[in-house]
Structure 1
Amino acid sequence: MDAGSPAAAWRRCPETISMPLRLHDYIVEHAVLDMASDCDCCGSRNRGVPLWRKQTQYAAGHTLNDYYSLTPEVRRQTPVLFLLERRWPSKGTGGFRSLMQEWEVKNAVSDSLIRIVSSNHVGEVPFMLYEQWHVPVPELGIELSVIFQLAWHSQMPGRSLSIQKFMAGCTQEVALGFMHMANVFCRISYGLPPESVEIYNLLEGRSDRHDCGAVPLQESLDYLRLLAPLMEQELHRPYV
């Protein structure tokens, strides 16, 4: 299989395999967040993700997309906070509880973005940039759909990609779920595990890095299989 084109696996499979369900990564993320919504660590006992967090995620995601769409030479001359300011929600539309909360959230995200872009693959062009990819997973009877925010070619022998995900707040369960989905995608598409899956929590200024070489494909398949009841619940309710 061409290691530069995960779509190669997808193009061959629809002719012989009928997939009844497309599983999106955001559905798993939404289900896991709802599963954890009754615990104090989520900051709220209300179902779903608060509007301010969605708006913050939207602004940060588009800022990173804008930034890494530039050539490395232009990136060095472009302040990432200038791009964030263009994407930040207009006053009164972000769903923040107060101006103080908005100020604290914006400062936290700004600090995280500055640290990330100052040292993250500075002279490289990403292989994937906010792209959605699909791959059939016959073992689960699904087609897996994953949005990769940033992915870079791995320089490590026997590995495929270095994958990065950026979130405005993240639980360990969400990070683990995305790691398993990325592991399934890369092992099926490339026949190789990712070099790493790194999830950044922009509000807390930290990241968790997972070495997927130590995670067998079967373990990731079993994890997604255990989420099947939650997936069904998500598929039968509106996504807002």
Structure 2
Amino acid sequence: MRGSNSLSGFPLLQDYQLEEMWRRPQPGHPSLAARGREGWNWRQRVQYAVGHALNEYFGMEVEVRREVPVQYVLEKWWPRQPNSFESLFHYWDVKNKVTGELSKICAFNKDLLVPVMLYEQFCTSVPELKVDISLIVQAAWQLSAGADSLLIQKYIVDYNPNVIHTFQHLTNVFCHYAFGALPQLIEVYCLLEGKKISFIPGPSSLRQSLDYVQLLRDSSEDVHGRTERCRCGGCIEQQLSQDSSTTRDKKGEQEAKSRKERLFGPLLFS
């Protein structure tokens, strides 16, 4: 299960690549990650700092963690120069907002003790869809005994609905095939907005997530297989919409419409 390489020879969907795709600002924009860290934009630099700070903070002994402010840990990883930020004011504004929000989140979650997964990358095969998925689990906590008691958390710099939906559905499918059960709760923290989005998987969640991952797989294969077409997130989103209205089960246009409504249903905000 662990590792980033494809397990079965099926196409591989990797969460961080999908996230970069959704955030890609312009058609044909080259991958910033491919240029190395010196080519990162401000959002990528902040995400890097947040990831390392939380990995260090949640990895501490519980007694130590309660005595060490998370902002102290974040300071160690925060970009030293305002390079790639829009201005010096933007640099300090983002830093203050992210620091304040992480402090509130960690105070609120002080009852969570030892994570069962912490910034680990996993790969699992989904034979039903003939695809492998690779997922980076930032933090996962076991709320009680049993595989269905997982709380899985994701921390992102700013709100992006496509990134959040993709993470939700990939997580549902991953947990079902890796652990045999859906998570009890999925939480996504959007740091600049101070927003927490919670998903509570229900009886129909797996089917919805499998449908979404299948559409994502098919759309990615189609777009990446045609060099004359754009590979940005906007075009993938358009292709997802087209695919969802012409589903392959041939059960009619009304069923395709219902599927789309289920896939992009309401989010639970707290």
Q: Distance in 2 between matches of 1:123 and 1:176?
A: 25
Report the residue type matching 2:213 in the other structure. L
**Residue in 2 aligned with 1:188?**
177
Q: Check 1:234–1:199 CA distance in 2 against 1; reply closer, same or farther (3 A cut).
A: farther
Q: Distance in 1 between matches of 2:198 and 2:112?
A: 21
After TM superposition, the structure 1 = structure 2 runs for residues 122-133 of structure 1, keeping only pairs within 5 Å, are 122=111, 124-133=113-122
Q: Check 1:72–1:190 CA distance in 2 against 1; reply closer, same or farther (3 A cut).
A: same
**Residue in 2 aligned with 1:30?**
20
Report the secondary structure of 1:96's partner residue: coil
Report the secondary structure of 1:203's partner residue: coil
The two structures have a TM-score, normalised by structure 1, of 0.80
Report the secondary structure of 2:148's partner residue: coil
Q: Check 1:158–1:84 CA distance in 2 against 1; reply closer, same or farther (3 A cut).
A: closer
Deviation of residue 197 (structure 1)?
A: 0.8
User: Aligned pair 1:105/2:94, yes or no?
Assistant: yes
Q: Distance in 1 between matches of 2:156 and 2:112?
A: 23
After TM superposition, the structure 1 = structure 2 runs for residues 173-212 of structure 1, keeping only pairs within 5 Å, are 173-212=162-201
**Residue in 2 aligned with 1:78?**
68
**Residue in 2 aligned with 1:87?**
77
The two structures have a TM-score, normalised by structure 2, of 0.72
After TM superposition, the structure 1 = structure 2 runs for residues 57-72 of structure 1, keeping only pairs within 5 Å, are 57-72=47-62
Q: Distance in 2 between matches of 1:107 and 1:33?
A: 23
Deviation of residue 141 (structure 1)?
A: 1.5
Q: Distance in 2 between matches of 1:213 and 1:78?
A: 37
5+ residue gaps, structure 1, are: 1-6, 39-44
Percent of matched pairs sharing the same residue: 38
> More relative contact order in 1 or in 2 (CA 8 Å, sep 6+)?
1
Deviation of residue 158 (structure 1)?
A: 7.1
Report the residue type matching 2:10 in the other structure. P
Report the secondary structure of 1:23's partner residue: strand
Larger radius of gyration: 2
Number of equivalenced pairs: 217
C-alpha RMSD of the superposition: 2.9
Deviation of residue 138 (structure 1)?
A: 0.9
User: Aligned pair 1:136/2:125, yes or no?
Assistant: yes
Report the secondary structure of 2:202's partner residue: helix
